[in-house]
Amino acid sequence: MSALDFGRLGFGAAGIGNLYRAVDDDAAAATVEAAWKGGVRYFDTAPHYGLGLSERRLGASLRGRPRGEFLVSTKVGRLLDPAAHPDDARDDEGFDVPADFRRVWDPSESGIRRSLEDSLARLGLDAVDVLYLHDPDVYDLEAGITQALPAMERLRDEGLVRAIGVGANSSKALAECVSRADLDLVMLAGRYTLLEQPALHDLLPLCVERRVGVVNVGVYNSGLLSRPTVSARANYNYAPAPAEILERARRLAMACAEFGVELPTAALHFGLRHPAVRTVVVGASNPAQIEQNVARMEEPVPDELWEELRRRGLIPPSSV
């Protein structure tokens, strides 16, 4: 398992890549500054986030800070190639940015190395600490495992990155990667949360066995668990939440309130409650969001809450 110290809370930089809505450069810089002031020292980004905008903004915001005091991860698998679109074309994958580039899946060794070089140029760094293969199951999981991961192992062997891993929404796909490659980490999105824990069955025990650390992201389930009161218009898995999911979230919120704990606070803390999990990473697009997350992570949560959630069948009996 990687010996890197991530801290309990990391910063996900998709928001400063204009995920869903545009933020300006000053707001992005202020958000990273708020994370730093809150003690966050792990920052995750990707070329996918805003077609490189997230990497550029994160690098600019970290410039001048002592390099030995923070960790940065980015991702490979999607190259950014110039796109021949009309001047007014916008990105169609959730980011409010011009469609100046197109994402190209390339798991080859040359593609992986070029992707890392391009990311370092955008970040303005000599090296990143962690490199993840990004969503290989969305494109070609087998090619990701047999082509990209061996190439990433060589990058680690050469000392060009300190740790390698895979990031995905599917715990099953991540388990396949852990079984067949020499990984340090996985970035698990939305599959070990207060709301749902499928990774308990297929991924997390394997990570413990193989000493692979888990970076847990998406613990708010696309925003469903991000507020003390569950909205009828809340999203789940990037789409409007079904009625049964809303009802389960409301039951969780009510149980948490009985112990004086707000739902988002419980969601953050639950995300750390497995021995394989190294850190929880949350996104933010303004300083208030990251400041609130930092404050929530510092709040105490009584063990009795987890016991009551188990008693009510809202988390599995096997949850730690």
Provide, rounded to the nearest whole percent, the portion of the chain with pLDDT above 70.
Answer: 98
Whole-angstrom distance, CA of residue 208 vs CA of residue 39 = 27
Task: Name the CATH topology of 9-76+106-224+266-301.
Answer: TIM Barrel (3.20.20)
SS3 at position 128: coil
For strand 101-105 and strand 78-82, is the pairing parallel, antiparallel, or unpaired?
antiparallel
**What values do phi and psi take at 207, rounded to 5?**
-65, -40
State whether the Cα torsion 295-296-297-299 is positive or negative: positive
Furthest CA-CA distance within the chain: 58
Could you report the per-residue pLDDT of 132-185, keeping only the tens digit for each?
999 999 999 999 999 999 999 999 999 999 999 999 999 999 999 999 999 999
∠ CA 249-250-252, nearest 5°, is 65
pLDDT at residue number 2: 58
Could you report the per-residue pLDDT of 196-247, keeping only the tens digit for each?
999 999 999 999 999 999 999 999 999 999 999 999 999 898 889 999 999 9
Among residues 4, 40, 25, the alpha carbon closest in space to that of 289 is found at 40
Query: Average pLDDT in the 44-57 region?
Result: 98
What does DSSP assign to residue 69?
Answer: G
Catalytic-labelled residue, pool 20, 42, 49, 132: 49
- Which of the four pLDDT bands, split at 50, 70 and 90, describes residue 320? low
Give pTM, 2 decimals: 0.96
SS3 at position 71: strand
Active-site residue, 238 included: no
Among residues 245, 45, 14, 58, the alpha carbon closest in space to that of 131 is found at 45
Position 267: which residue type?
A
Helix axes 53-62, 109-123, angle to 10 degrees: 50
Exposure letters 189-222 (e unless 16+ CB within 10 A, then b): bbbbbbbbbebbebbbebbeeeebbbbbbbbbbb
Position 82: which residue type?
P
What does DSSP assign to residue 82?
Answer: E
Whole-angstrom distance, CA of residue 251 vs CA of residue 257 = 10
* Residues with Cβ within 8 Å of residue 76, at least 6 apart in sequence: 111, 112, 115, 116, 119, 131, 132, 133, 134, 148, 152
User: What is the full DSSP assignment across 103-145?
Assistant: EEE--SHHHHHHHHHHHHHHHT-S--SEEEEE-HHHH-HHHII
Query: Are 6 and 35 within 8 A, CB to CB?
Result: no
Q: Is the pLDDT of residue 1 over 80?
A: no
Whole-angstrom distance, CA of residue 90 vs CA of residue 85 = 9
Domain boundaries defined on the chain = 9-76+106-224+266-301
Query: Average pLDDT in the 81-104 region?
Result: 92
What does DSSP assign to residue 141?
Answer: H
CA-based Rg of the chain, rounded to a whole angstrom?
19
pLDDT at residue number 183: 98
Could you report the per-residue pLDDT of 182-207, keeping only the tens digit for each?
999 999 999 999 999 999 999 999 99
